[in-house]
Structure 1
Amino acid sequence: MTSNPIDHITDIIDPGDALGEVLFGLIMALTFTVGARLVVNEEGLDTQELIAATIGCNLAWGIIDAVLFVLGTTFYKSRRLRLFRQIKAAGSETAALEMLAKEFPIEEAPFSAKAGDADALYRSLLTLACRADPVKASLSKGDLLAAIAVFALVSATSIPAVIPFFFIDNAHLALRTSNLFLIMLLFVTGYAWAKLSGGRPFYAGMTMTGLGLVLVSIAIALGG
């Protein structure tokens, strides 16, 4: 059985994070195309400039998001290493258990755990931490591949935004088609999000579409 590109991406990066990057890229692309439509009557539409700006913006934000992902991953690993060292240096078992409970709160889990079960979990984690040895908090090959995936997802969302301009001679019609493609992809993103999380796909798709358009409106209103 052959796997598709989506399976490869979700093997590298969390599906929720991947869809979040797609949503971000779509909003960036829509900010340019919808914004262009608002000023087209006053200044005219330079399609070449719009294509370059849309692709350039998403490429730039793809790079920025990838760098932020690397920084966030490094911070997360360093924080975990710091916690490990603090547990090792804790003056008592009670203090170590309090650190673990603060770092991994059961209250945030999607289930109701009994106090005794929670205590058993923290004691198991404490035993593991006390017996284990620290490792260097360095980036792995998987982390770098995930950063590349982040860049690719944000950058790729500019493609459906510019494709209509290569096949439709009428610039105004191409712009409307571009906006329609991106809005449809907002719906698809929300639909896929619900399918992965066990939500209501159609409702999530409509919600994501509405939310995306609201965020685009805010970006345009603020000069983004």
Structure 2
Amino acid sequence: MTSNPTGRITTIIDPGDALGEVLFGLIMALTLTVGSRLVFEEEGLDVRELVVATIGCNVAWGIIDAVLFILGTTFYKSRRLRLFRQIKAARSESAALTVLAREFPIEKAPFAAEAADTDALYRSLLTLAGRADPVKVSLAKGDLLTGIAVFLLVSATSIPAVVPFLLIDNADLALRTSNLFLIMLLFVTGYAWASFSGGRPFYAGMTMTCLGLLLVAIAIALGG
């Protein structure tokens, strides 16, 4: 049994997807807090309004993202069922292998495979499909748990954004602290991403930070 929170999360949702949701939530929160600085300089900062807006925005997008994830999962399963039917309806073995090659293109994989190995893989999939029976497309418990995980990850990223406002009386200092904390978390997210994918953690952390800030700047410039 997995004993740490990270391990429990990665048994529910893919680490790449989880970190992507965290990144999305951080960008949403940072867009609000950085954008509020422009308002702060002109009109003064309403801390309560900013806290409510930040939490509300991330919770709302957490719900939207979770629903979209579940819809995407349903679409993926329906597509696989359609693929199964296409294989069953193929008039020849070569036609069925062509369907599989189009759906699972090995040349796009991050490795080079021998032609004989690729052919053996597609033939194994064809044998598996030939012996299997179609099942009704439905959401499993795991799909719902993943949707809940998506919601929690996006929503929870609002917490580090608002905590400084709850602990620091000076609104300007709290805003700066919040922004700095979120930027640091962008780096941590990139670092963790590389740790899971086998990349260079520091390089990935800096890249994620710069990319996140660029996206925030674009969102603010477009009125987001």
Name the counterpart of 1:29.
29
1:141 maps to amino acid: K
Task: List alignment gaps of at least 5 residues for structure 1.
Answer: none
Contact 2:2 2:8 in 1 (8 A): no
Distance in 2 separating the partners of 1:108 and 1:49 = 48
2:5 aligned partner: 5
After TM superposition, the runs of 4+ consecutive aligned structure 1 residues lying more than 6 A away are none
TM-score by length of 2: 0.98
Could you tell me which residue of structure 2 aligns to residue 107 of structure 1? 107
TM-score, scaled to structure 1: 0.98
Distance (whole Å) between structure 1 residues aligned to residue 56 and residue 35 of structure 2? 16
SS of the equivalent of 2:95 reads helix
Report the Cα distance in structure 1 between the residues aligned to 2:31 and 2:24, rounded to whole angstroms: 11
Contact 2:25 2:158 in 1 (8 A): yes
How far off is 1:2 after superposition? 6.1
- Note the aligned Cα RMSD (angstroms): 0.9
Post-superposition Cα deviations, 1:99-118, rounded to whole Å, max 9, x if no partner, equal: 00000111012221111111
Equivalent in the alignment of 2:38: 38
* Residue in 2 that maps onto 1:94: 94
Q: Kindly indicate whether residue 63 of structure 2 is the aligned counterpart of residue 66 of structure 1.
A: no
SS at the partner of 1:133?
coil
> Which residue number corresponds to residue 159 of structure 2?
159
**Cα distance in 2, alignment partners of residues 109 and 36 from structure 1:** 43
Superposed displacement of residue 87, structure 1 = 0.4
SS of residue in 1 equivalent to 2:82: helix
Aligned to 2:16, the other structure's residue is in SS state helix
1:120 Cα deviation after fit: 1.0
Q: Deviations over 1:36-87 (max 9, x none)?
A: 0122111110000000000000000000000000000000000000000110
1:163-205 deviation digits (Å, cap 9, x = unpaired)? 0011100011000000011000000000000011111100110
Determine the structure 2 residue equivalent to 1:128: 128
Partner Cα separation in structure 1 for residue 205 and residue 110 of structure 2: 24
